[in-house]
Amino acid sequence: MFKEDQLDKVKKGKGAWQRELSSQLSLMPERKKRFSTVSDLEIKDLYTPEDLSEMDFEKDISFPCSYPFTRGVQPSMYRGRLWTMRMFAGLGSAEDTNKRFHFLVQQGQTGLSTAFDMPTLMGYDTDSPMARGECGKCGVAIDTLEDMEILFKGLPIDRITTSMTINPPASVIWAMYIAMAEKRGIPRKKLGGTIQNDMLKEFAAQKTFMCPPRPSVRLVIDTVEFGTKEVPRWNTISISGYHIREAGSTAVQELAFTLADGLAYTQAAIGRGLNVDDFAPRLSFFFNAHSDFFEEIAKYRAARRMWARFMKERFKADNPRSWWLRFHTQTAGCSLTAQQPYNNVIRTTLQALSAVLGGTQSLHTNSLDEVLAIPTEEAATIALRTQQIIAEESGVTHSIDPLGGSYFVEALTNEMETQAMEYIRRIDEMGGMIEALERHYPQMEIADAAYKFQQQIDRREKIMVGVNKYETEEAPPVEILKIDPELESRQIARTQEIKNNRNNKKVRECLDRLGDACAGQENVMPFLIEAVKEQATLQECCDVYRKVFGIYRDPGIY
């Protein structure tokens, strides 16, 4: 990027500055021996053109919507269209969550995002003994198509897109969504949205799993194949680093393991016989926005560049859209504190700003009370307003990739890429992500990083305001949302009534056909849609999976 003589001048100038600095430091040393990111990546005192001497503008930075997309995937970025403001919401019954969705849309939210309760996430109906005490606690309970219809009642799902955070039962929930839309007269070709459906990161981090890794990936690829042919506007996988980071990884690990998961899905879909350019444009990503401002911006920029290179060079994709890494971002839940919870608004603001400066396509901002419970309406509104203030008042949307060309940000972007490539090389050597997971490699890397961070907090080497510095005695002053304890029995009654009134013979036949598809090679999606239209429950479909594919149990290593 710089000519020899320019770099010579920089070197001389830097020498002079360093001499000045060392005489200063002998009088007043720096505040710390070592400055490092929240992920413990060491940061230098100053970055100059010397740090970018190996870089090539065309090859490494380039223009928005130009390979390798370091600066963003759209030509006009936020000057053309703002990111989608998509607040993750789900609580209690389908009626309760429907009400919250309507409220958020009225407040100016531009996309829907659904949080399910634990039984739904794990493929159990509310009337299962495994679900006792958990109905509606951390999201909405969905057992049948009827619940799905109530959940989206009156919402313009032909115009706004819906994201659903669901993994082992993703295919079943998606089938319910398609069936619900078709009952409303909206054809599947018109449906836009996302199912998370990223099973690999479940084994590594979020830990909602049902069947072992290999059949889990087979089901994911069934949805990719079905989406490619039948639901072309749907993102069938949201390849997620969010949970990897929440489980305690570093930023580099989040970047590396997420892209390695993406490589594994791409390989598996190609193995199914799909053409990379037919499905790759519908792969989407999901990253965390943690507290270290520049590290996060560098991570998003590196992610785009790395993915573009993988798609073009490793998988020989020709369609530029296959090279795009489009991503949703959520601010870091694990960075929030129960102590002095109003401080969480400030943390979330900084994190959201890093996501925007990093070029996100969609954003969820956490509510200040999310560390204590599901957010209240008031807290969720402040979180949404945070995005609206960034979008409408801060001015950061005026220029594309405004930090591009910063010596520090470019050097940090390069560093993230180099370190993440080293992880990916190791995973490739093991044979890919499925093999790496079977050896517990990412799981242990994440656990090591999480333990190290906790020790740094305990030793006050890393600071969390209100937790290990600037502590106060008072109890949290915020109101928190409570889930009605009677909800569980009401939901059980509804599900049982449906089971009693449907055509049980037809349901049995549908489930048998689903079982045959699982045991053979056929795509499960058409069989699922047929089954849920007959009011087969979520668990009944998942029990077929469990029976055919077996159950994965947590190895319980720490």
Helical packing angle, 251-271 and 407-430, nearest 10°? 50
The answer to whether residue 507 forms part of the interface with other proteins (CB under 8 A) is no
**What is the closest distance, in whole angstroms, from the C-beta atom of residue 423 to other proteins in the complex?**
20
The answer to whether residue 554 forms part of the interface with other proteins (CB under 8 A) is yes
Nearer to other proteins by Cβ, of 131 and 306: the residue is 131
Q: x/- contact string, 423-462, with other proteins (CB under 8 A)?
A: ------------------------x--xx--xx-xx----
Q: Where are the alpha helices (DSSP H) in 272-292?
A: 276-279
Nearer to other proteins by Cβ, of 6 and 455: the residue is 455
Q: How many residues bind other proteins (CB under 8 A)?
A: 47
Nearer to other proteins by Cβ, of 411 and 446: the residue is 446
Q: Which of 52, 85, 89, 121 binds other proteins (CB under 8 A)?
A: 121
* DSSP classification of residue 40: -
**What is the closest distance, in whole angstroms, from the C-beta atom of residue 338 to other proteins in the complex?**
5
State yes or no: cis peptide before 68, omega within 30 of 0: yes
Residue with tokens 């899905």: 265
CA angle 203, 205, 211 (to 5 degrees): 20
Q: Which of 358, 223, 365 shows the shortest CA–CA distance to 302? A: 358
Nearer to other proteins by Cβ, of 68 and 248: the residue is 248
Nearer to other proteins by Cβ, of 68 and 341: the residue is 341
The answer to whether residue 132 forms part of the interface with other proteins (CB under 8 A) is yes
The answer to whether residue 334 forms part of the interface with other proteins (CB under 8 A) is yes
The answer to whether residue 477 forms part of the interface with other proteins (CB under 8 A) is no
Would you state the structure tokens that stand for residue 322, as one six-digit string? Answer: 């296959």
Q: Which of 129, 89, 81, 91 shows the shortest CA–CA distance to 113? A: 89
Stretch that binds other proteins, among 206-214, 378-386, 519-527, 535-543 (CB under 8 A): 206-214
Q: x/- contact string, 242-271, with other proteins (CB under 8 A)?
A: ----xxx-----------------------
Distance, in Å, from the CA atom of 474 to the CA atom of 387, rounded to the nearest integer, reads 29
Q: Which of 442, 423, 434, 429 shows the shortest CA–CA distance to 557? A: 442
Nearer to other proteins by Cβ, of 134 and 261: the residue is 134
Would you state the structure tokens that stand for residue 448, as one six-digit string? Answer: 């090591």
**What is the number of other CB atoms lying within 10 angstroms of the CB of residue 435?**
15
Q: Which of 10, 41, 55, 338 binds other proteins (CB under 8 A)?
A: 338
Distance, in Å, from the CA atom of 121 to the CA atom of 431, rounded to the nearest integer, reads 29
34 three-class SS: coil
The answer to whether residue 208 forms part of the interface with other proteins (CB under 8 A) is yes
Nearer to other proteins by Cβ, of 172 and 280: the residue is 172
Distance, in Å, from the CA atom of 262 to the CA atom of 284, rounded to the nearest integer, reads 9
Question: Are 85 and 95 in contact, with CB atoms under 8 Å apart?
Answer: no
**What is the closest distance, in whole angstroms, from the C-beta atom of residue 490 to other proteins in the complex?**
16
The answer to whether residue 520 forms part of the interface with other proteins (CB under 8 A) is no
427 three-class SS: helix
The answer to whether residue 46 forms part of the interface with other proteins (CB under 8 A) is no
Q: Which of 465, 480, 498, 548 binds other proteins (CB under 8 A)?
A: 480
**What is the closest distance, in whole angstroms, from the C-beta atom of residue 451 to other proteins in the complex?**
5
